Amino acid sequence: MIHRLSHLFLRTLRDDPADAEVPSHKLLVRAGYIRRAAPGGYTWLPLGWEIHRKVENIVREEMNAIGAQEVHFPALLPREPYEATNRWTEYGPTLFRLQDRRGVDYLLGPTHEEMFTLLVKDLYSSYKDLPVSLYQIQTKYRDEARPRAGLLRGREFTMKDSYSFDNDEAGLAASYQAHRDAYIRIFDRLKIPYVVVSAMSGAMGGSQSEEFLAECEVGEDTFVRCTSCDYAANTEAVQVRVTAVANVDVPPALVVDTPQTPTIDSLVALLNTTSHRSPTGAAFAAGDTLKNVIVMVKHPDGTSEPLAVGVPGDREVDMKRLEAQLSPSEVEPFDDAAFAKFPALVKGYIGPDALGTTRASGIRYLLDTRVVEGSSWVTGANAKDQHIINFVYGRDFACDGSIEAAEVRAGDACPHCASPMSIDRGIEIGHVFQLGRKYAEALDLKVLDHNGKQSVVTMGSYGIGVSRAVAVVAETCHDELGLCWPRAIAPADVHVVITGKAGDDISVAGEKLAQELHRAGVTVLLDDRIGVSPGVKFKDAELLGMPTIVVVGKGLLEGVVEVRDRATGERSNVAVGDAAQHIAHICKSGS
RNA sequence: CGGGGUGUGGCGCAGUUGGUAGCGUGCCUGGUUUGGGACCAGGAGGCCGGGGGUUCGAGUCCCCCCACCCCGACCA
């Protein structure tokens, strides 16, 4: 294949588009790969679509290699299946809903668990038919509140979603592992630097779940990673390592006057001016205080209820972590109007004695897992300007349960080996999880087992953001000059720049070389534009980012062409006669 | 949904106390150029985001919408 720049539907831009912030967005638009068409929707131009197709095909090859079979559903789906799993409600405003001319409800598929489940139910009915894995590469729709960063978070995007169907847990584990291994091969081939992290299963339900995160500053996910073992997890899913309490005799709880101390800092400062000390005899620190935060939990059915969460005073409540565990319910701030309805709550001095379903406020009270049985705290006394010290969890107060709510920080102990962990940002490019029987039960997907009895099928669900992967490659593989596509997905192997005029020796040699490369099975992007200065052609070649750039120009006088590696910048001169073979060799060897 | 910002030829921007719109780039024509976004000359291209108001007169002032970007909230 030879793409000719003289005819290619392409316009590169000299300046970054003003509405783009992240490098991938700026460069993909500047280099003429995509154009914005709608909020969160992009048009793929010829070279961009070529990349998209190549990513799709890598995904396809690896999915086929594990025996998964490709199907294709409509994006326009009926309401009923999503009603059966309650996702019509649970998905909330993110679901694109529409009606036909008769007023019947439809949706644009955000993901297709229900449809795949029903398809298997439609055709299969025996344990002998399983296992089976099916997938599709499909346009997905999500009414994002705020699409951002170009292709990274759109309202319409391409996703490969696959689903495994097994008779039992062992089968599911094997299907899960096969997908996980396939994903590793896919992202390796795409040359994306990634980390596999433990994840929450979120609104999808299910148990075992891991995310593939591309390490990237502009990522929206935060994950922790152990500095010595291989533990890595999304911060939402971190299981905090709980340390036992030192066995200290704690004096009886004592109410102390603490005027003008609505904040943790002011409280600690004031206490340390008194004769009171913590049970260990040390001065009080923020981490000795127990902060009780009230939030409003909004359920998918529209009802809401207050919830109190107790966390160590030196840490904030991480709303994302909290919400991940209350999913699909949502968490909202507890405003003054809500406070007014609970006279038992003294703002700034809320303490455990007022919290709990059987206490004065009647508000459910959960303690962060860092608050362990037997630990002693400074906390609110439910009266203005008063706190309680030496208040021991288990001895002096109780709660309705525990929850992971406090923020996770760099340096926190790894739950596996207790070494310090680091925190980084990443972009979710893949997600594998064991759904279990949630969807099969909701939609009644059963097969006859070898005893002739009905058995509910167990499922796995696996996704890769294809369009997002294109953006992630651009994000992780560019420099100040432009993009650098890995050979596996570059729109062409070689960008041949002809610096001469139409019909001169240089132009003729360039055309000849392009043809030879084409015959050798190398894909070529040929800059055969007439009257365009060499500088412009070089800039465009660097911006567009083919892995190899070949310059046919003044070197021809010495009988050579220049071969450049886009990523490393290495240049070498090659005799014209050997050029095609030499370049073909570079392309085939994958360098 | 809250906070901040921006809307002016394809793209990037300027536009003063209100006087009927300009620069760069890109595009077209002709010519000179050809190894790092060349030069000269001549062109085409604008409902100044939309609506209402004030005014003799609005890109500019006032009000209301809308869109986009960023932060937060949200997020297979």
CA dist A550 and A349 (Å) reads: 72
Angle between helices A169-189 and A46-65 (to 10 degrees): 140
Q: What's the N-to-C CA distance of chain A in angstroms?
A: 20
pLDDT tens-digit series, residues A351-394: 777 777 777 777 788 888 788 777 778 787 777 777 887 787 77
Which of the 242-301 residues on chain A come under 7 Å of nucleic strand B at their beta carbon? none
Other CB atoms within 10 Å distance of the CB of residue A11: 10
- AA letter at A41: G
Question: Does the domain at residues A2-238+423-475 carry the CATH identifier 3.30.930.10?
Answer: yes
Protein CA at A29 to nucleotide C1' at B23, angstroms:
24
Of A412, A432, A328, residue with least CA distance to A368: A412
Residue A63 vs residues A69, A197, A499, A506: alpha-carbon distances, Å: 8, 21, 43, 45
Residues 183-202 of chain A with CB under 7 A from strand B are: 202
A205: left (phi over 0), alpha (psi -120 to 50) or beta: left
Please give the full DSSP string across A218-247, using - where no structure is assigned.
T-SEEEEEESSSS-EEEGGG--PPPPPPP-
Q: What is the torsion angle, in degrees rounded to the nearest 10, for the CA atoms of residue A501, residue A503, residue A508 and residue A511?
A: 80
More confident site: A242 or A291: A291
Contact A550, A494 (CB under 8 A): yes
Give the distance, in angstroms, between residue A18 CA and nucleotide B62 C1': 29
Compute the average pLDDT of residues A304-312: 80
According to the model, what pLDDT value does residue A359 have? 76
Tokens coding A297: 């939990």
Q: A38-47, A372-381, A481-490: which range is least confident on average?
A: A372-381
CA of residue A538 to C1' of nucleotide B39, angstroms: 20
Which pLDDT score is estimated for A327? 67
Asked if A166 and A434 count as a contact pair (C-beta separation under 8 A), the reply is no
> Residue A498: its pLDDT value, please?
93
Task: Pick out the nucleotide with least CA–C1' distance to A318.
Answer: B73
* C1' (B73) to CA (A338) span, angstroms: 19
Looking at residue A258, what is its pLDDT?
A: 75
Instruction: Answer with the residue of higher pLDDT: A21 or A457.
Output: A457
Number of Cβ within 10 Å of residue A259's Cβ equals 9
Question: Which nucleotide has the least CA–C1' distance to A555?
Answer: B35
The gap between A532 CA and B43 C1' (Å) is 20
Question: Is omega for the bond preceding A262 within 30 degrees of 0, making it cis?
Answer: no
Contact A434, A340 (CB under 8 A): no
Query: The dihedral of CA A511, A517, A519, A524: what is its sign?
Result: negative
Average pLDDT over residues A6-11: 90
Return the domain boundaries, chain A: 2-238+423-475, 254-403, 492-588
Q: Cα–Cα distance between A488 and A144 in angstroms, integer?
A: 31
Residue A172 pLDDT exceeds 50: yes
Which nucleotide is closest to the Cα of A530 by its C1'? B34
Dist CA A344 CA A349 (whole Å): 11
Q: Per-residue b/e over A560-571, b at no fewer than 16 CB within 10 Å? A: bbbbbebbeeee
Tell me the pLDDT of chain A averaged across its residues.
85
**Which nt sits closest to A93, CA to C1'?**
B74
pLDDT at A253 over 90: no
Q: What is the DSSP letter of A315?
A: S
Contact (Cβ atoms closer than 8 angstroms) between residue A355 and residue A399: yes
d(CA A233, CA A211): 9
Least confident interval from A3-12, A388-397, A447-456, A555-564:
A388-397
| Euclidean distance between CA atoms A406 and A317, whole angstroms | 5
What is the pLDDT at residue A237? 77
Q: Which CATH superfamily is domain A254-403 in?
A: YbaK/aminoacyl-tRNA synthetase-associated domain (3.90.960.10)
Q: What letter would DSSP give residue A14? A: S
pLDDT of residue A23 exceeding 60, the answer is yes
Bigger pLDDT: A497 vs A307: A497
Second CATH level (architecture) for the domain A492-588: 3-Layer(aba) Sandwich (3.40)
Give chain B positions with protein CB within 7 A.
Answer: 1, 6, 10-13, 24-26, 32-38, 67-76
Whole-angstrom distance, CA of residue A494 vs CA of residue A548: 5
With 50 as the cut, is the pLDDT of residue A482 above it?
Answer: yes
Any idea which residue has 């450049």 for tokens? A564
Rounded distance between C-alpha atoms, residue A435 and residue A211, angstroms: 14
pLDDT in tens, A526-535: 999 988 999 9
Instruction: Calculate mean pLDDT across residues A249-272.
Output: 74
Token pair recorded at residue A343: 């006279």
Instruction: Quote the pLDDT of residue A328.
Output: 65
pLDDT at A422: 84
Please state whether strand B lies within 7 Å of residue A465 at its CB atom.
yes
Shortest CA distance to A290 belongs to which of A373, A385, A389, A361? A389
Phi and psi (nearest 5°) for A517?
A: -65, -45
Distance from residue A262's CA to nucleotide B64's C1', rounded to whole Å: 42
Check if residue A500 sits with its Cβ under 7 angstroms from strand B: yes
- Model confidence at A245: pLDDT above 80: no
Residues A312-339, mean pLDDT to the nearest whole number: 74
A206 pLDDT above the threshold of 60: no
Neighbours of A222 (CB within 10 A): 18
CB neighbours of A503 closer than 8 A, spacing ≥ 6? Answer: none
Handedness of CA A2, A4, A8, A12 (dihedral sign): positive
User: Tell me, what's the pLDDT at A331?
Assistant: 74
Q: Which of residues 539-578 of A touch strand B (CB under 7 A)?
A: 539-540, 542-543, 551-555, 562
Q: Report the distance from CA of residue A410 to the C1' of nucleotide B4 in Å, as an integer.
A: 29
Of the pLDDT bands very low, low, confident and very high (cuts 50, 70, 90), residue A205 is very low
Q: Rounded mean pLDDT of A444-455?
A: 91
Closest protein residue to B74 (Cα–C1')? A145
Q: Name residues 34-73 of chain A with a Cβ under 7 Å from nucleic strand B.
A: 38-40
User: What pLDDT, on a 0 to 100 scale, did the predictor assign at position A204?
Assistant: 44
Please tell me the predicted confidence (pLDDT) of residue A336.
67
Å from the A533 CA to the B43 C1': 22
Residue A200 token pair: 């929450």
Structure confidence at residue A48 (pLDDT): 93
CA A348 to the chain's CA centroid: 36
Domains A2-238+423-475 and A254-403 share a fold: no
Under 8 Å CB-to-CB from A533, ≥6 apart: which residues?
none
A154 touches strand B (CB under 7 A): no
Between CA A37 and C1' B61 the distance (Å) reads 35
Read off the pLDDT band of A203 (50, 70, 90).
very low
